[in-house]
Chains A and B, each alone.
Chain A
Amino acid sequence: MTFVLPRYADDTAGQPSLDHPDYRSTALRHPTQPLVVLPQRLTEVTGPLLGEERVGELDHDLTRQHAGDPLGQRIVVHGRVLDGDGRPVPATLVEIWQANAAGRYRHVVDETRAPIDPNFTGAGRVMTDAEGNYRFVTVKPGAYPWKNHPNAWRPAHIHLSLFGRAFTQRLVTQMYFPDDPLFGQDPIFNAVRDPAARQRMISRYDHDRTEPGWALAYAFDIVLRGRDATPLDDDDD
């Protein structure tokens, strides 16, 4: 039996290195042996196609998950999930988590002195629509201190997790906000060496989608790995 499988393009050039001494937690956690090439076979070109059953009614709105309104600047985060060829990725799960407006995560390990907000958990999930669009309502997360280096602060960010359509496309990233003065000293943001690639992690203020009297909007498109051209693709047009 022989057959042809889709092939996903190599995107390692724009990705951060696992061995990144400026981010101290990588020291004992990055593999030191060379990675072995895993040819893309059936298990790699398929992946979990998780459906609406994973998403609750209020999962898209992090400001409505408790009795009261959370403190902070209400924002809309929206965009499209695309693959490297510009094709929308429909019906794929997007999961997010973030700190509250004061820069505090609702997590036992977070020992910063900023306050917990009883009206904010900081987790959300949505499915993209048929055109790959997604949208969340939340509050703008605060920057927060950490112990990586003297006077270290993480720029404000929202964590995003995506599956795409194949195991090869799995992505977890962070969305940043425009013109953050903390970018320069942040080893996680700067672990991406290519300045153009770093720009792809920064959202854009979107006045057209800002909702009068209610919420600022930020646009953030997410690009998952695209497919290499194959002989079969020649028949598409």
Chain B
Amino acid sequence: MTDRLGTTPSQTVGPFLSIGLSWADGPYVVPEETGGAVRIGGRVLDGAGAPVPDALVETWQADPDGRFDHPDDPRGALRPAIAGFRGFGRSATDELGRWWVLTVKPGALPGPDGAGEAPHLDVSVLARGLMHRVVTRIYFPDETAANAADPVLCAVPEDRRHTLVASEADDGLRFDIRLQGDHETVFFTV
């Protein structure tokens, strides 16, 4: 442990992040034609309620079976049943602070301690003015029972949990990210 290398410090992405971090297919966690795909999107807002037009929202999630195509999933890496499922989404915000991804609802997850987790997406938000990313989670509004038993959600003060649950919208699910102020989104240290 004593010879551990120091981690390279984080620095802000600055205002010009879209030069390096925009992907044409970034928002597509699943291909456009995927059956059952849901659009999740919203706005990134600052402490004055103004849109943040120079942010990047990234999502990471399990597949609909609750599996990861990754060697550190103790159940074994599993190729997803959905063709083109990437698990990862990336969306730069537009001039109104809007972001979106197209995905499928992940499955529930087992926990190392036996306590399972409700379906969720892990989210990183990067922006000018953020010296490192902030991390949050998106939960699903139609999972009331699973959400109530979720160990991560239960560790959040009850009056703030609603900031982590998406809401139904005409075009899918809505999830606004409030960096500061009234109804500030719950952010995590990982």
Residue A218 CB within 8 A of the other chain: no
With A9-B4, A171-B8 known to touch, is A123 a contact of B88 (CB < 8 Å)? Answer: no
Residue A41 CB within 8 A of the other chain: yes
Asked if A41 contacts B5 (CB within 8 A), the reply is: no
Question: Which residues of chain A are within 8 angstroms of B120 by Cβ–Cβ distance?
Answer: 43
Which residues in B have some Cβ–Cβ distance to A below 8 Å?
1, 3-21, 23, 46-48, 50, 52, 54, 58, 60-62, 68-70, 72-75, 86-88, 109-114, 117, 120, 122, 124, 126-135, 137, 151-152, 155-156, 160, 179-181, 184-190
- In the complex, which residues 163-179 of chain A have their Cβ closer than 8 Å to any Cβ of chain B? 165-168, 170-174
Asked if B20 contacts A96 (CB within 8 A), the reply is: yes
Asked if B9 contacts A16 (CB within 8 A), the reply is: yes
With A41-B117, A49-B70 known to touch, is A224 a contact of B62 (CB < 8 Å)? Answer: no
Residue of A nearest to B178 (CB): A31
Which residues in A have some Cβ–Cβ distance to B below 8 Å?
1-6, 8-9, 11-12, 14-18, 20, 23, 25-33, 35-50, 54, 82-86, 95-97, 99, 105-107, 109-110, 121-124, 159, 161, 165-168, 170-174, 188-189, 191-192, 196-198, 200-201, 222-226, 229
Q: How far is the CB of A100 from chain B (nearest CB, A)?
A: 11
Report Cα–Cα, A139/B114, bound state, in Å.
53
With A37-B189, A109-B15 known to touch, is A170 a contact of B180 (CB < 8 Å)? Answer: no
Q: How far is the CB of B108 from chain A (nearest CB, A)?
A: 11
Question: Which residues of chain B are within 8 angstroms of A41 by Cβ–Cβ distance?
Answer: 109, 111-112, 117, 152
Report Cα–Cα, A45/B112, bound state, in Å.
12
Report Cα–Cα, A51/B117, bound state, in Å.
28
With A43-B60, A109-B16 known to touch, is A200 a contact of B8 (CB < 8 Å)? Answer: yes
Q: Which of A26, A39, A123, A168 contacts B130 (CB 8 A)?
A: A26
Residue of A nearest to B122 (CB): A43
